[in-house]
Chains A and B, each alone.
Chain A
Amino acid sequence: MNGAVPFALQLAWFISTLLFVIGLRRLSSPSKARTGIWCAGVGMLVVIVSMFFHPDLRQNHSLIVAALTVGGGISLLHARRIDLTRIPQTVALYNLLGGVAAAGIAILVLLDVAQYSVLAKSLAVLGGLIGCVSASGSFFAYLRLRGYLVRRTGFAQRQVAYIASGALMLLLGLILAASPTAHPALLFLFVILALSFGVLMTLPTSAADMPVLISLYNALTGLAVAFDGIVLENPAMVVAGTIVFAAGALLTRLMAKSVNRRLSEIMYSGFGITDEGHDAATDRDHVNTIDSQDAAVDMAYAGRVVIVPGYGMATAQAQHKLRELTQLLDERGVETSFAIHPVAGRMPGHMNVLLAEAGVPYEKIQDMGDINTEFSQVDIVLVVGANDIVNLAAREATESALHGMPILDVDKAKRVIVLKRGDGTGYAGVENPLLFAPITRVLFGDARDSVQDLIFAIKGLE
């Protein structure tokens, strides 16, 4: 970099960084969160506009504007139409793009080595490596969550592959950083290796654990951006990238902790790979079924009903019907609430977002710690498309893949009604003893249709 950055530009970056920090701070409080994202948005706009006045940005102006229009335009159309039940996939997708951009910058730096110091090139190598890992990892996480890669694959020599590719990348990285000339072929090999490393990291992880991994990749992209920022001498990139890295790393830990798993377990364990589980899939002959009429009577004359939503509620879009059901029950004097497991759905907060969308008031939502002490006073628990978070195997079967994960103690209630679409097991692929418990009744069918039937049946009671 040759031209000195004018003070006005430095000031603009400083203000943006400040706006990012304030924005992130506001994002962590429910009532101010929305102003937070707008704050950060203004900061981003200031940075983007200011970049056009950067003295080093000498050519390709039309290309830049074209790329901004194409990327921004497609993304705008996509983001406005995306279904909010697909948040984890969407974050993975945008993180893939961020990783690609971070890796692209590093590649450009390493192709044009003459003007950078060895230290700067080393940082570019690191930024490129992390960006590639994050991009390919996010891409495979996206595919897994979209259902394109249903089977997890793992192979026994994975550790060897990790170490071998790691060592090779270290060697290539050292050459790229130290050499005074560019080596496009070596750089290409390095990128391919880094991309495969990301794939290697993602493939063995189950879809249920994927949000934790996506959060990790999100943090890693932040780090890659920070390294690129040092190389390009842009302090706003360094600070924003590092903040995302630190916040993302903490968030990843919080998310892993709420499923009672260590990050290393999520990434490296062969969790469930050998256990196909589906041979023992729920047998309708052995569960007690119930029809919607009886279930409606049970609920209408209960004192307290707790609804446990899971991913099935999201896929069936049953949240609006559920709110209608709770309003109906409230009118009859039944006390209703929603019990939210920290990882219900596909990522923490997923259920809260959907219930908020349906207009369920905050005070009706109880988290696991509160509700678990109260289940013994609950008459009816209505489980809507949830499985792993109420899987008793997590508590009892020490050999189970879910063992040790805290669950909602719904079996302490007087009666459990499970709305279940099919005969399959949950995402973890583990049979749920709850379904066979004497207090449990299963209502088969699509969650939204079943809730609709319940609403009709309750309205019909006189």
Chain B
Amino acid sequence: MSVVTALYLLLLAGVAGYVLVARVPSILHTPMMSGSNFIHGIVLAGAMLALGVANSPLEQIIGFIAVSAAAANVVGGFVVTDRMLALFDKSAGKKSGSAGSKPSRVDGTRRRTRPASPKTDSASEKS
């Protein structure tokens, strides 16, 4: 891969990244940030290669640090993003579960502000 080819890659992948995120809803900003944090963990591939050609002890130490750091980035980024997104799954499940009770609180008939006789009102509510 020549450097010029790489520059074309930079350009096109940059556009792709921009387009991919352009319409992400704000509720997913945090998982998106964590997810992209996971994806740059691909630096692990480079770190493995760099350690794989290391000769001197100094190079081996730096390489070892780089590989462990990158591995931690990959594993941590994945687990945290997945845990976060699992919460969204759960709430989507609850959403369908609670659909039946919803109409009663949406219709305006039960609305009131500070009723004069709270006791009777709440009693009728309970029954």
Contact = CB atoms under 8 A, between A and B. Distances in A.
Given A97-B76, A236-B42, A237-B46, A71 B67 contact: yes
A214 B67 CA distance: 22
Given A33-B28, A68-B67, A72-B75, A51 B35 contact: no
A250 B22 contact: yes
Given A107-B62, A235-B1, A330-B105, A44 B74 contact: yes
Interface in A198-212: none
Contacts of B86: 34
Contact of A98 (B69, B82, B87): B69
Given A34-B89, A90-B76, A232-B46, A105 B36 contact: no
Given A40-B39, A242-B17, A247-B20, A104 B62 contact: yes
B84 A87 contact: yes
A356 B87 contact: yes
A172 interface: no
B27 A349 contact: yes
Nearest to B44: A48
Given A255-B29, A347-B29, A462-B123, A104 B66 contact: yes
Nearest to B123: A462
A246 B80 contact: no
B51 A27 contact: no
Interface of B, secondary structure class, is: helix
Interface core residue of B63, B70, B92 (most chain A CB under 10 Å)? B70
Interface string A232-251: 11111111111111111111
Majority DSSP secondary structure for residues of A touching B:
helix
A243 B71 contact: no
Nearest to B34: A91
Interface in A345-380: 347-350, 352-353, 355-357, 359-363, 365, 367, 379
Nearest to A95: B37
B49 A54 contact: yes
Interface in A46-65: 47-48, 51-52, 54, 56-61, 63-64
Interface residues on A, range: 35 or more
B33 A56 contact: no
Contacts of B76: 75-76, 78-79, 90, 93-94, 97
A442 interface: no
Interface in A64-106: 64, 66-68, 70-72, 74-76, 78-80, 82, 84, 87, 90-91, 93-95, 97-98, 100-102, 104-105
B35 A24 contact: yes
Contacts, number: 427
B85 A64 contact: no
A234 B47 contact: no
Interface string A8-31: 000000001000110111011111
B34 to A, nearest CB: 5
A161 B44 CA distance: 33
Contact of A362 (B26, B32, B95): B95
Contact of A244 (B36, B47, B115): B36
B32 A239 contact: no
A112 interface: yes
Contacts of A123: 3
A91 B33 contact: yes
B45 A101 contact: no
Interface in B55-86: 55, 58-60, 62-86
A71 B63 CA distance: 12
Contact of A303 (B29, B43, B112): B112
B69 A101 contact: yes
Interface of A: 16, 20-21, 23-25, 27-31, 33-34, 36-38, 40-41, 44, 47-48, 51-52, 54, 56-61, 63-64, 66-68, 70-72, 74-76, 78-80, 82, 84, 87, 90-91, 93-95, 97-98, 100-102, 104-105, 107-109, 111-112, 117, 119-120, 123, 214-215, 218-219, 221-222, 224-226, 228-230, 232-251, 254-255, 258, 297, 300-304, 330-336, 342, 347-350, 352-353, 355-357, 359-363, 365, 367, 379, 414, 461-462
7 contacts: A60-B51, A97-B76, A104-B63, A218-B33, A221-B43, A239-B16, A243-B20
